[in-house]
Amino acid sequence: MIDHNKLDVAVTASVEKLQSLFGTAPEVAVVLGSGWAGAVSHVRDAKNLSYAELPAFPQPKVEGHVNEIVVGKIGAQRVIFLRGRAHTYESGECTGMAGALRTLKRWGVRVLVQTNASGSLRGHMPPGSLMLIADHINAPQRSPLVGEQGSQRFVDMVNAYDAELRKHALALAKRENLMLGEGTYCWALGPQFETPAEIRMFAAWGADAVGMSTVPETILARHAGLKVMGIALMTNMAAGLSAEALTHDLTLKQAQMSGERASAFLAALVASLKEVAL
């Protein structure tokens, strides 16, 4: 459970640090999951800062995460990239990104774009496919808002993934001649991969992709008042849907293979958000 007094002090210090180094906040923040790191290469006038310099930010220890922010511009759109996220499976707590996201909101960020690497539950979205997240399933039924006070903790999740931002992303993908699916993401706690029986259950629930992140951050972001958009990169077929054994190395390998195209679309998407009323 969050110690709100300590977190508030850390958030205040983090906001002051960001303001002193970067001035006013970008409107858009992006959490980079596995396979998406190449988007940073599209940033102009990039300035980097380690999470270690920001007291409210986590120190995750997952291979493939750099644990730094990158602030700059893509096109005319200022943006902050978060290169690393805390996963619930690291500590058992699903509040790991609370400080970072509350810092972004207090600094002045308005939109959070989440990216991740996922397992596909649908044959029409093979490895390498991109899926716009329209909704999610919180399979562990864990909430980072447990212990919060007041009526704001009862967050409406009907439009958790902003409908207008999704519409914009689909239109951009069409203009770019890029196949962008849309579906429901299921959060599994991990770190073990799911069993074939669990995947069949998730599919019956209506899930189209499964992964070990994103949902706690979406809940935190909506509680903070941020608009959210999410995109999943399919790195494998989920358990029981192919003969391939699931490993973290496989996930990273496929993410690397598909990452250039995914990152290029993400960069174009960030730049295009200048056209949208955020």
Indicate which CATH number applies to the domain containing 56.
3.40.50.1580
Which pLDDT does position 3 carry in this prediction?
A: 79
Distance between CA atoms of residues 112 and 61, nearest Å: 22
Residues 174/180/185/187 CA torsion (nearest 10 deg): -120
118 in a known ligand binding site: no
According to the annotation, is 56 in a ligand binding site? Answer: no
Is 223 within any annotated ligand binding site? no
> Which residues, 6 or more positions from 63, have their beta carbon under 8 angstroms from its beta carbon?
248, 252
Tell me: is residue 14 an annotated ligand-binding position.
Answer: no
* CA trace torsion 51, 20, 148, 163 (10° rounding): -80
What does the pLDDT look like over 161-188, one tens digit per residue?
A: 999 999 999 999 999 999 999 999 999 9
Domain of 236 in residue numbering reads as: 4-275
- How far is the C-alpha of 153 from the C-alpha of 123, rounded, in Å? 38
Cα–Cα distance measured from residue 99 to residue 90, given in angstroms and rounded to the nearest whole number = 16
Alpha-helix runs per DSSP H in the chain: 4-22, 88-91, 98-107, 163-175, 196-205, 215-224, 248-272
242 is an annotated ligand-binding site residue: no
- The per-residue pLDDT for range 125-142, each reduced to its tens digit, is 999 999 999 999 999 999
Mean pLDDT of 87-104: 96
Give the catalytic positions in this structure. 34, 65, 87, 89-90, 117, 212-213, 236, 248
Q: What is the pLDDT of residues 7-65, one digit of tens each?
A: 999 999 999 999 999 999 999 999 999 889 999 999 999 999 999 999 999 987 766 56
Judge contact between 262 and 36, C-beta under 8 A. yes
Residue 244 annotated as lining a ligand binding site:
no
Is this structure's pTM higher than 0.85?
yes
Pairing type for strands 111-120 and 209-211 reads: antiparallel
- Let me know: does 171 contact 193? Beta carbons within 8 Å: no
Across the range 217-237, mean pLDDT stands at: 96
| Number of compact structural domains in the chain | 1
Q: Using alpha carbons, select from 1, 14, 30, 90 the residue that is nearest to residue 229.
A: 30
For residue 98, name the pLDDT band (cuts at 50, 70, 90).
very high
Q: Is 87 annotated as a binding residue?
A: yes
Does residue 76 surpass a pLDDT of 90? yes
